[in-house]
Structure 1
């Protein structure tokens, strides 16, 4: 918890940021990066999506302390993207977004590439042979 103190040293109280909040910020920041097809969430997120509940923190695991946090991201990259560059951009974007919005110091952003998204070819409709 981070204590908020005014200029005169008077304490207002404490602020606690939930893990889910940090996870949502990190997940959204990661999907903003060019080359990211989406987040990989495993079995439980697949079940929640099947039930119509989209999880904004899918593919994100966080540990939040009083002043610091560590983030693990599980992503799917678009085919043709340079994985190392995309992963580095994810790390930078997530770190900046979480630190700016929460005031927490991000000590780690670990990116695990779980898959590659291969775009589906568009079907070309053939002319019928018989009219």
Structure 2
């Protein structure tokens, strides 16, 4: 039985040219970092919500509610760093310190990864505790007399 040898030709691999380096800076609105922080916060166990419940204000006779992806988050952002202030509501029974620490860690990681900014400070204001809603209502006292 004859064997056939397959001839192969190889092309030399040429390195790809590196993209040209173009100078410039990337600026970022505070709302971008606030949106990242708010989104990350939604995944933290024990955190009920970000923002002060029912917060609203009037502007030119119209009531404006504090809603949206930047609710409860104030940000200062520079070319290399960011600092954040968050108002949060924690679920009843949760370790507030642990929730706050996880919130700081996860937000700092996400802002660094997505925005390229080092987070130098995250101040957390706990503005409320969300009580459980499935608690049984107190039973009416039984009648003593039939």
Kindly report the root-mean-square deviation, in angstroms, between the aligned alpha carbons of the 2 structures: 2.2
TM-fit CA distance, 1:123: 7.0
Give the TM-score taking structure 2 as reference length.
0.69
Q: How does 1:1-131 map to 2 (within 5 A)?
A: 10-41=21-52, 42-44=55-57, 47-48=64-65, 54-121=67-134
Q: Distance in 2 between matches of 1:123 and 1:85?
A: 28
Structure 1 unaligned regions, length at least 5: 1-6, 125-131
Q: Distance in 1 between matches of 2:21 and 2:113?
A: 24
- Look up the match of 1:127: none
Q: Distance in 1 between matches of 2:64 and 2:84?
A: 23
Give the TM-score taking structure 1 as reference length.
0.76
Asked if structure 2 preserves the Cα contact closer than 8 Å seen for 1:68 and 1:104, the reply is: yes
Structure 2 unaligned regions, length at least 5: 1-17, 58-62, 138-146
SS of 1:89's equivalent in the other structure is helix
Give the paired residue count. 113
TM-fit CA distance, 1:112: 0.9
TM-fit CA distance, 1:119: 1.8
Larger Rg: 2
